[in-house]
Amino acid sequence: EYVLMKNHIINRDEAYINFDDRGYYFGDGIYEVIRIYNGSPFLWEEHFDRFLRSAEELDIVLPQSLNKIKQNILTLITKNNVINGTVYLQMTRGEQERNHLYNRDITPVITAFTKEGGVPVHQQKHGISLWSLEDIRWLRCDIKTINLLGNVMSKRKAEDMGSQEALLHRGHIVTEGSSSNVFIVKNGTLYTHPANHYILNGITRLYVEQLADNEHIPLQKEAFTTEDAQQADEMFVTSTSLEIVPVTKVQGTIRSDFPIGPVTRKLQHAFEKSKTM
């Protein structure tokens, strides 16, 4: 199995990270997870647009052209012969003796690996339960940074409470999941948090927006409350790894049960159709 390390595709067991990598000291870096369906990357340009945006927001300049990075990733996918799976791409600010103050003359470190595996069919069919809790993350959740402590703490808590994902809220406003975006349906209308600094603007979220539009399902990118969530007709989460997964139960600060409704099923169906086109 091969990985991408800086500008080289090498064997995984030959890959080492420098002791002074800022990703290790500070979580100072960004990443993307991209789906591969049938050997082809899905929503490729959208992921790289977000990657560039994250880099720009953190004042990290690409160490090589975007085209070269894309070429390396495509080569990695081919060399690992990934048919259905994901590719993880990461870029840290670079290597520098530990110091909060970063130098601008260090070279960012790009790494990538691939993972074989399909989508969670059982969860897509039967739904998952969420554990709701206060969103304790920082105020730039729009940047896809590898600094994910608030997310990992929430995910562990959710799992420990017998749920598969966390449902985060800031005060009474529902934001997103620990690694997914959240939608509710009320009276046939979809609601999801607007793309601002409180959430990661998910590529799947954006795609669901398009699917909803095609299916003539009204969508409001409007913050909704914990009360709204409790009284929703349907709820689902989206991400690159999950696609669209229905939520059948929420516990914790919000308590509710949901049927897997027609809007969720319609969007799942549209998603499935579109990815094989």
Q: Which residues are catalytic?
A: 144
Q: Please report whether residue 205 would count as binding ligand PMP according to CB under 6 A.
A: yes
Between residues 117 and 259, which has the closer beta carbon with respect to ligand PMP? Answer: 117
Residue showing the smallest CB distance to ligand PMP in the complex: 202
Q: Which parts of 143-162 interact with ligand PMP (CB under 6 A)?
A: 151
Stretch that binds ligand PMP, among 101-109, 114-122, 152-160, 236-244 (CB under 6 A): 236-244
Q: Please report whether residue 240 would count as binding ligand PMP according to CB under 6 A.
A: yes
Minimum CB distance to ligand PMP, residue 31 (Å) = 9
- Candidate list 28, 165, 176, 234; residue touching ligand PMP; CB under 6 A: 176
Can you tell me the distance from the alpha carbon of 93 to that of 73, in angstroms, rounded to the nearest whole number? Answer: 19
Minimum CB distance to ligand PMP, residue 183 (Å) = 12
Q: Please report whether residue 179 would count as binding ligand PMP according to CB under 6 A.
A: yes
Q: Measured between alpha carbons, how far is residue 32 from residues 170, 179, 240, 270, 273 in Å?
A: 25, 12, 10, 24, 24
Between residues 96 and 181, which has the closer beta carbon with respect to ligand PMP? Answer: 181
Q: Please report whether residue 203 would count as binding ligand PMP according to CB under 6 A.
A: yes
Minimum CB distance to ligand PMP, residue 206 (Å) = 8
- Candidate list 111, 180, 192, 248; residue touching ligand PMP; CB under 6 A: 180
Residue of 139, 227, 140 whose CA lies nearest to 191 = 227
Minimum CB distance to ligand PMP, residue 104 (Å) = 28
Minimum CB distance to ligand PMP, residue 106 (Å) = 26
Between residues 185 and 242, which has the closer beta carbon with respect to ligand PMP? Answer: 242
Between residues 93 and 193, which has the closer beta carbon with respect to ligand PMP? Answer: 193
Q: Please report whether residue 200 would count as binding ligand PMP according to CB under 6 A.
A: yes
Contact 266, 217 (CB under 8 A): yes
- How big is the site for ligand PMP, counted in residues (CB under 6 A)? 14
Q: Measured between alpha carbons, how far is residue 208 from residues 18, 28, 266 in Å?
A: 39, 30, 11
Residues of this chain that interact with ligand PMP (CB under 6 A) are 33, 151, 176, 179-181, 200, 202-205, 238-240
